[in-house]
Amino acid sequence: MPSARQELIAELEQILAALREDRLYPEEMQRRFIYPMSSLGVHRHLLEVESQIRSLREEVLRSRDKPVRCAYTEDRGQVIHMLTGVSGEVERDHKYLKKKSHSNEWLIITDPYFLQWDGPNKAFPSEKKYTDYIVDYIPRELKKLELFILPDPNKRILKKFNDRVRGRGTQVSYWPTTEIHDRTIIRDNMTGTLMGTSFGGLGNKLAFVLDIPDQDLKMFMEQLNRIRGVA
């Protein structure tokens, strides 16, 4: 077992090593040497803690001029922006949302205004452009589509959408309801996406597009079954 003398030497050697490697600020060095000699037993731990604090401080200083992003705005690995409506990024927003439609068997969309158009905006300057977008949004090989929308949709949009999507062989079901506010896309692998805007406003104003937690999605699906009248 090392003697107190050996422990003291070891502690001093650690302090000297830190000084040689410029891991101690002068004020830290002075504070260490005015400690009572009986306190040197804690220096090893203090050295580790202060080294970590200094490392964190330097990292903060290096990053202070960099823009900070919310964790929900990026996907790990490939960077995927989930904030839509940023100026000049309408095409990017539409491409990103298109990735959320990948389904083979069935797809559910809840959007009260999916078959409505309120007039020109920076995302959709014409009713035709919006209609073409929502038709193209539906996967061509999709077998079943369910839409939860407000009653009394735009008749022109409804007819064009219905004729073109059903013409591909997709079974389309419409569920008129006033009970749903949020816009969602639910895929056949039981994953869902929440949109902060209707399809017609995508890219027009700032809005988030975020994944729905599994438990929330399960509860939401139960409510959709109630609206359908499924026991």
Which of 16, 40, 63 terminates a domain? The answer is 63
Nearest to 172 by CA among 193, 151, 149, 194: 149
pLDDT tens per residue across span 14-35: 777 776 766 656 656 555 555 5
- pLDDT band at 104; cut points 50, 70, 90: confident
**One domain for residues 23 and 133:** no
- pLDDT band at 198; cut points 50, 70, 90: confident
- pLDDT band at 43; cut points 50, 70, 90: low
**One domain for residues 96 and 163:** yes
**One domain for residues 107 and 179:** yes
**One domain for residues 54 and 99:** no
- pLDDT band at 107; cut points 50, 70, 90: very high
pLDDT tens per residue across span 54-72: 777 777 666 655 544 444 4
Tell which wins on pLDDT, 226 or 61.
Answer: 226
Q: What is the pTM of this model?
A: 0.62
**One domain for residues 133 and 198:** yes
Tell which wins on pLDDT, 207 or 84.
Answer: 207
**One domain for residues 49 and 85:** no
What is the extent of the structural domain holding 44?
Answer: 4-63
Which of 63, 80, 112 terminates a domain? The answer is 63
- Asked if residue 38 has pLDDT above 70, the reply is no
Tokens 């804690």, located at residue: 42
**One domain for residues 37 and 87:** no
Which pLDDT belongs to residue 164?
97
**One domain for residues 130 and 32:** no
pLDDT tens per residue across span 113-151: 999 988 898 888 999 999 999 999 999 999 999 999 999
CATH number of the domain enclosing 223 = 3.30.870.30
Tokens 């209609």, located at residue: 131
Which pLDDT belongs to residue 42?
54
**One domain for residues 100 and 141:** yes
**One domain for residues 57 and 79:** no
**One domain for residues 36 and 112:** no
Residue 135 identity (one-letter amino acid): V
User: Which of 35-49, 91-105, 134-148 ranks highest by mean pLDDT?
Assistant: 134-148
**One domain for residues 141 and 112:** yes
Number of domains forming the structure of the chain: 2
Tell which wins on pLDDT, 110 or 190.
Answer: 110
Which of 63, 84, 107 terminates a domain? The answer is 63
